[in-house]
Structure 1
């Protein structure tokens, strides 16, 4: 598969504007829902801002959209190869994510990411739509979900409702893992239309 056209910044700009317009909400309302400053949102929507993981997750939560609907609109192919060098990294406080694949079926939407948690770093999320699945490939990862914490090593798996606040912490060296987000078809989304 050829790399996606445009940068994450360009795709995010177009997709934020489309999602906001489709819902009939103002930039001010999106700012309130996402807890992202209006000026920052304006920059992101114009393609001049620098998106972070935290920003994308906040927008996903506020718009109740899968992250991939904000970052890409790839179409399914029968044979797909994604080269690491061809995928733009989306960075946050402690994590670097590379979106690898979006898979749609009649019943669900799946998003696959290469996730790297930097050594000694912690990445927090207030939550977003979907069910989150993580498989650790290398390193030791501390995963906090609500009031629970679990320590994972290579080959270990955790799954949870991603709308719950959660965190990832690399406790022994950097951590490399596969992040898999699952969304049910017709998952309820907030209705932004006036009542």
Structure 2
């Protein structure tokens, strides 16, 4: 079963603010001693703020933002946006789907879904365990990326044949006829990501 990103616990405000302040300080190459001295707060207090061990006043946050050149509005800008749209699909829990050409011993697991009216991409984990299986030719809009995890095969794209082993990747125009030509070593697992043209 897929899980949306709001499933993990959201950062508390103190944790979020401490993380943002530490990142901004480190991005500028500043030490805690430098920032605490200029802001007029103790090193211990700044350390506690960065590690979410204390709640801090708006006055202290304002002074820290001034030292770091960080607008207060920007400091808070992304807090309410946490967990807004990621999708976690746990191992083995992708939705099994049937596609043209899917036969016994050949399964597709859909690893994502796209919210909204337009589908921008699809990601599949494809498993094949029948070396005698024959495949139709596929053709669809967009660009496809495939990455072979296990097994060996020869993959056809247009008039070209590409031998592939574990760890090999292939990116191609998906409107050109393509598909597995020969399964050399099974079981075979293939990650397929299809990016659709939105123009």
Report the TM-score, using the length of structure 1 for normalisation: 0.49
| Structure showing greater Rg | 2
TM-score, normalised relative to structure 2: 0.49
